Chain A
C-alpha cells in the first residue's frame, strides 16, 4: 500500500470513528444546552446501547430488533438517570452536578460489569459482504451503516427542532430559559425529554460501533471524553458544529494513530482539547471571542 492509499484509508476509518463521536457529542450538546448539565455519564449510555445490542444479538434476535431495543434501553437508562440524579439536584452547584453524573456513570459501569462481565461481547456486522474498495482503500459495510444511520438521525433531529412543537420549545429554552418559562415551557419536562433523546443518540452510537470494536463495560468513559472534545471543538452550543468537530477529531486521531504511533491517538485528541481551550475556548466557528462566564 503506498502512502497516498494509506492516508486515504486512515481518513476513511477516521470518518467512521468521527461519526460515532458525533453521535455522542450531539447528545452532550443537547443535554448541556437545555439543562446546563455537562453529563459525564454520556459515554456510559453508549456502552449500555452497545452491550444490550451485542447481548441480544447473541441470543439470536434479528439484528434490527437488537438495534432498536438497544437504542430504547439506552434512552430508558438515560431517563432513569435524569429522574434519579439530575432532577433532584437541579438547584445544586454545577460542581455538585458534575460529580453526580460521574457517580451515575460509575454506577452504570459497575452494573454493566455485573450483568455482562469483563469479556468483550461480539456483535455481527449489520450486513455481510466483501468490503468496498475505493481507490485502493477499503471500507467495511459497517462504516457505511454508521454514516447512513448518523445522517438519518441528524435529519430526524433537524426535523424535530425545526418542525415539531417540542423541538421549538427546546430551542426557545436554549435561547432564553426565563422567557421560555414565561411562555409556559416547563424546563423540568424538557430536561427529561432531552435526556431521553441524548440517551437514544448515544445508544445508537454504541450499537453501531459494537460490531467494529466489540462491546465492553468500560468503553463509556473514553467515548464521553471524545464526545466532549468534539463538542468543545464545535463550541458546546451548536450541534451541527459539534458534528463537524467530531469528524475532524476522528480523522486527526486516525491519522495520528496510523502515521505516528498506535498508542498515542488519545494523547493527540487531548492535546487538541488543550489547544482549543487555549486558543478558541468558544469553538472553532465562533464569531465572538471572549470569556464565557
Chain B
C-alpha cells in the first residue's frame, strides 16, 4: 500500500523533473547546459554510491577510479582499436564491474573499513596506472580526439543533444535503483544496514548482497565515465583522482543516502558549489589555488555528518513525516 502511494508520488516528481529539465534545456545558455550535463553524469555515479552507502552500509573511496576506468576503456577502445562508440559502453561497464568484483569479494566479507581502504587504494592504483602506462593511456597528457557517438548519419554533438544521453542514463540508473530498493532485495539490504548479524540470522546472505550492490555501483560509475569520455572527447588522469572519489561520497552524504532523490540533489549541490567556488574564490581569497576547496569540503563533510547525518537536502521529508506522525519508513 505504502509503496503504491509512494509510486504515485514518484510519478508526479518525475513529471515535474522532466518538465523542469525540458524547460532548462530550451532556455539555458551553453554554460548552464554543460553544468546540467555534468550533473546528469554525476547523478549516475551518485545513485550507485547511494545504494552502496545508504542501503548496504558500506562506503567506497575509489569510485573516481571506476569512473576513470570506464572513461579510459571507452577512450582506448574507440580511438586505438576503432570500436564503434556504442559498443564501448557495455565493454566499459562490464570491465569495471569485473574489477569491482575481484576487489570487493574479499573486502565485503570483512568490516566496513576494509572496503573503504581497499577502494581508496584501488583508486590510487588506477590513477598511477593511468599516468604510468603510457603506451595505452597516453600518460599524464591522456587521450585526445575521442570520436563522437553516432546514430546512423546523426552524431551526438552539442550540449542539448547530450542532455538526452546524460539524463537518459541518470533516469535509467534511478529507475533501476528504485526497482531494486522496492523489491525484496531492497528490504534485505535495509536489514543488512540495520543489523548484519540479525539479517544473517534471518537467512539473508549479507556479504553476497553487499558485493552485488558494490559491483552494481561500480558499473554505474563505469557507464558514467564512458559517457564522460565521449562527452568531453578527451581523458586525462587529473580528472579521476582521490579528490573526485571523495566528492562522489559527499554528493551522497549531502543528498542523504537513504533516499534516491538525494543522489541528483547531492550531485547538483556539489557541482554548483564547485562552480561557485571556481567563480568567486579568487575574488575572496586572492592567490588561493583551487585546492583550498579542501578545507571547505572537509569541514562541510564533518558538519553534515555530525549535525545532519541523514543528509541536508532531504531534511524536509523527515520533517513532513514527523509531522504526519508516520514512523521512519524510509523508501
Chain A contacts to B: CB under 8 angstroms: 38, 40, 84-85, 88-89, 92-96, 98-100, 102-111, 113-114, 118, 221-222, 225, 228-229, 232, 261, 263-264, 266-267, 270, 273-274, 277-278, 281, 291-293
Measured between C-beta atoms, what is the minimum distance from A117 to chain B in Å? 9
Inter-chain contacts of A273 with B (CB < 8 A):
117-118, 121
Work out how many contacts link A and B, with CB atoms closer than 8 A.
135
Q: Is B116 an interface residue (CB 8 A)?
A: yes
Asked if A92 and B309 sit within 8 Å, CB to CB, the answer is: yes
Residue of B nearest to A89 (CB): B306
Q: Size class of B's contact patch?
A: 35 or more
Inter-chain contacts of B111 with A (CB < 8 A):
94, 292-293
Given the known inter-chain contacts A99-B59, A99-B305, please indicate yes or no for A106 contacting B132, CB distance below 8 A.
Answer: no
Asked if A110 and B106 sit within 8 Å, CB to CB, the answer is: no
Inter-chain contacts of A104 with B (CB < 8 A):
298, 302
Residue of A nearest to B53 (CB): A95
Q: Is B156 an interface residue (CB 8 A)?
A: no
Rounded to whole angstroms, the CA-CA distance of A99 and B304 in the bound complex is 11
Asked if A106 and B294 sit within 8 Å, CB to CB, the answer is: yes
A-B contacts, 8 of them at CB < 8 A, read A110-B296, A113-B294, A114-B288, A232-B117, A266-B124, A274-B106, A277-B106, A293-B111
Residue of A nearest to B249 (CB): A99
Inter-chain contacts of A110 with B (CB < 8 A):
291-298
Q: Is B180 an interface residue (CB 8 A)?
A: no
Rounded to whole angstroms, the CA-CA distance of A96 and B109 in the bound complex is 19
Asked if A108 and B298 sit within 8 Å, CB to CB, the answer is: yes
Rounded to whole angstroms, the CA-CA distance of A270 and B295 in the bound complex is 28
Q: Is B253 an interface residue (CB 8 A)?
A: yes
Q: Which of A93, A100, A103, A267 contacts B129 (CB 8 A)?
A: A267
Most buried by A among B59, B61, B113: B113
Contact with A along B285-329 (1 / 0, CB 8 A): 000110111111111111001100100000000000000000000
Q: Which of A96, A100, A274 contacts B118 (CB 8 A)?
A: A274
Inter-chain contacts of B305 with A (CB < 8 A):
89, 92, 96, 99-100, 103
Measured between C-beta atoms, what is the minimum distance from B221 to chain A in Å? 18
Inter-chain contacts of B197 with A (CB < 8 A):
293
Inter-chain contacts of A293 with B (CB < 8 A):
111, 196-197
Measured between C-beta atoms, what is the minimum distance from A182 to chain B in Å? 24
Residue of A nearest to B302 (CB): A103
Asked if B295 and A106 sit within 8 Å, CB to CB, the answer is: yes
Given the known inter-chain contacts A98-B116, A106-B246, A281-B106, please indicate yes or no for A93 contacting B301, CB distance below 8 A.
Answer: no
